[in-house]
Amino acid sequence: MKGSVKKRGNTYQYVVDIGRDPVTGKRKQKTKGGFKRQKDAQAALNKVLHEIGEQGYVEPSKELFSSFIESWFTSHYEKRIKDTTASNAHSLINKHLIRENPFANKPLSKITTEDIDAFYNLKIDEEYSSSYIRKMHQMLNQAFTQAVKWKRIKYNPVTDADPPAVKKEEMKIWSYDEINTFLEHCEGERHYLTFFLAIYTGMRRGEILGIKWSDIDLVNKTIHVQRSLAYISKKGYILTSTKTKNSNRIVPISEMVVKVLMNYRTQQEMHKAQLGELYQDEDFVICTETGSKQDPRNVLRALKRLITTSGVTQIRFHDFRHTHASILISKGVDVVKVSKRLGHANAKITLETYAHLVPNEDNHLAEIFEKELEKIS
């Protein structure tokens, strides 16, 4: 890169060649004047040349942050993720990073790490959870990282920002008595089978609501999990692929689960015959009275009501999954097998979540080693 210092009137200015315009092919220059002394202009020129030499020249973007993140999402990020992830991410961007963001209408190149930290502090004051603010942090980091790659800005202001640490929520697990009390209390209720399957299989809510009878093999006692019911913005609740590759799996079921499913199917067939053409048969196991997809919100409302009336510990639907996994692990079932049953991406996730429940075999291992040595001697 070439540069020079020139005198203009009573002040000095520097001029730097910054390459050619990719469209017109014309030479581009950066100038800055107003220096009272030639050596001040030269020092400023040397600094610019050093920066250009290290990372190339970056023309500071005047585009507003709100405009950039919207275009980044639609032209880049959205094309690389699942529909369900995109829907949730777009909602987060619209609400928190555009409508309720102090620097939303600030030029991209003017946003500082201080702006980012102030944004996090605002969300903390608004009592959003640390984990949710972390999601905002991840979204901002990805957007600004791309802005650097696209040479809209020189550096990513999120890199040195300080988002709140995630506070690990205490896992709520039901005892055997609470499981039995709850299931006995809601037997005969419309959503009984949904809760029953969640407890006895550890499947996710969306997976259970996406099961079709063609996925169930009552002879070999298995359920093939291959889709999930999820909410997509502007589309409503639709069937999607499973959360991860490993989530598409075969879940073995017990004889008792088989009997419950057979009984439920008999009742469903009788109901279908009564409704006749009014029944929209889409082969769903869990469905509305007319056979269509079940709205997950109705399931959650029923869960809250039945937990209250049964008197058991308040838990989330996802805690059924924790309860299922915790019982298996506490009884010594191999973590890899539990991970496969749950459809986790890898066993590391399972171990990190339930490590505190793995039976402590340290003393037992020491005894095994000692006995082996005794055999040798």
Q: Do residues 229 and 268 share a domain?
A: yes
SS3 229: strand
DSSP 81: S
Pairing type for strands 222-225 and 216-217 reads antiparallel
> What DSSP string runs through 331-369?
TT--HHHHHHHHT-SSHHHHHHHHGGGS---HHHHHHHH
Cα gap 103→65, rounded to integer Å: 7
- Residues 6+ away with beta carbon under 8 Å from 114: none
Cα gap 216→226, rounded to integer Å: 11
Domain assignment present for residue 154? The answer is: no
Q: Do residues 306 and 339 share a domain?
A: yes
Domain assignment present for residue 251? The answer is: yes
Q: Do residues 319 and 204 share a domain?
A: yes
Q: Do residues 46 and 116 share a domain?
A: no
| C-alpha triplet 218, 224, 225: angle, nearest 5° | 140
Q: What is the mean pLDDT of each run of 10 residues along the chain (377 residues)?
A: 84 82 69 90 84 64 93 92 84 93 94 95 87 94 93 91 82 93 95 97 96 97 94 78 89 96 96 93 95 93 96 94 92 92 90 76 64 66
Q: Do residues 107 and 223 share a domain?
A: no
Residue 295 tokens read as 């709205």
Q: What is the CATH number of the domain that holds 245?
A: 1.10.443.10
Domain assignment present for residue 226? The answer is: yes
Question: How many folded domains does the chain comprise?
Answer: 3
In angstroms, what CA-CA distances link 363 with 333, 341, 370, 377? Answer: 19, 29, 11, 21
Whole-number pLDDT of residue 28: 75
For helices 192-201 and 318-330, what crossing angle results, to 10°? 40
The amino acid present at 365, given as its one-letter code, is L
Q: Do residues 184 and 325 share a domain?
A: yes
Q: What is the CATH number of the domain that holds 70?
A: 1.10.150
Q: Do residues 215 and 134 share a domain?
A: no
Find how far residue 154's CA is from the centre of its chain. 29
Domain assignment present for residue 203? The answer is: yes
Domain assignment present for residue 207? The answer is: yes
Pairing type for strands 222-225 and 3-8 reads unpaired
Model-wide pTM > 0.95: no
Cα gap 104→66, rounded to integer Å: 5
Q: Are 312 and 304 in contact (CB under 8 A)?
A: no
Whole-number pLDDT of residue 21: 61
DSSP 281: -
Q: Which of 341, 322, 344, 343 is nearest to 333 (CA)?
A: 341
Indicate the residue among 55, 82, 98 that finishes a domain: 55
Q: Do residues 294 and 202 share a domain?
A: yes
Domain assignment present for residue 93? The answer is: yes
Indicate the residue among 36, 55, 74 that finishes a domain: 55
Domain of 13 in residue numbering reads as 3-55
Q: Do residues 245 and 265 share a domain?
A: yes
Whole-number pLDDT of residue 370: 66
Helix (H) or strand (E) holding 368: helix 362-376
Domain assignment present for residue 284? The answer is: yes
Domain assignment present for residue 365? The answer is: no
Q: Do residues 75 and 51 share a domain?
A: no
Q: Do residues 344 and 234 share a domain?
A: yes
Q: Do residues 197 and 290 share a domain?
A: yes
